[in-house]
Amino acid sequence: MTPRDQHADGPGGAAGSAAPSKLPTRSDAERNRGRIIAAARAVFRRDGLNASMASVAREAGVGIATLFRHFSTKEELVGAVFTDRMEAYAQATERALADPDPWNGFAGYIEEVCAMQAADRGFADILTMSLPGAPALEECRDEAYQGFLELIRRAKDGGRLREDFTSRDLVLLLMANAGVLSATGDAAPDAWRRLVAWMIQSFQVPARGPLPDPPEDAALYEAMRRASQSVTSADTAKRR
């Protein structure tokens, strides 16, 4: 028997004696994708976005190669997991703008967004970083930002928000809140509420004194971009 004959017959020694391996079907792929997204949602909620892609694959019960066939980058996976949360973030501005009291709308929005961070460590991370590889998520972020600008304008026109407050102060608050949530964890799960209450009170008129200049928009964007790179670089390196 020639090598060509052996290859044709297969490992059983006779043609057709071994059952062909089952190829994955579209339904198999859809099930795997759903399992990966559900697993990533649980892992990121618990551990934040620094959780590795390998830990997501283990949670989903699939190989790392299968995960990367569905999501070639961590940003793609993050976008699939959190777009609905970012949509809820944008909807929060709509509810706040519907409040007839501009200050209540403004303060209530900040409390709601910070509560969303507290409920999901992964989402707490997302609100402090830029993810250009997840365009649907970034589109929702832009929508929420435009709504927040209107909340600021209304609260200032109503005489309750100090004039030197800027939208960049919200970014700084979200960064601070994410840090508190990461540091306190289950040990002091409500500590963030005190931070947020302090900050909201500090935003009110009358101002107790002048503030240092806020960071430039470009500087904050760079900080958010670096934050996103820090959570994707380790997984990228492991694939090489």
CATH fit for domain 74-230, picks 1.20.1640.10, 1.10.10.1100, 1.10.357.10, 3.40.50.720: 1.10.357.10
Q: What top-level class would CATH report for the domain 26-72?
A: mainly alpha
In the chain, where the domains are located: 26-72, 74-230
DSSP per-residue string spanning 128-165: TS--TT-HHHHHHHHHHHHHHHHHHHHHHHTT-B-TT-
Cβ proximity of 14 and 5 under 8 Å: no
pLDDT in tens, 137-190: 889 889 999 999 999 999 999 999 999 999 999 999 999 999 999 899 889 999
pLDDT in tens, 168-180: 999 999 999 999 9
The half-sphere exposure of 94 on its side-chain side, counting CA atoms within 13 A, is 7
pLDDT in tens, 26-71: 787 889 999 999 999 999 999 888 899 999 999 999 999 999 999 9
**Confidence at 204, pLDDT banded by 50, 70, 90:** very high
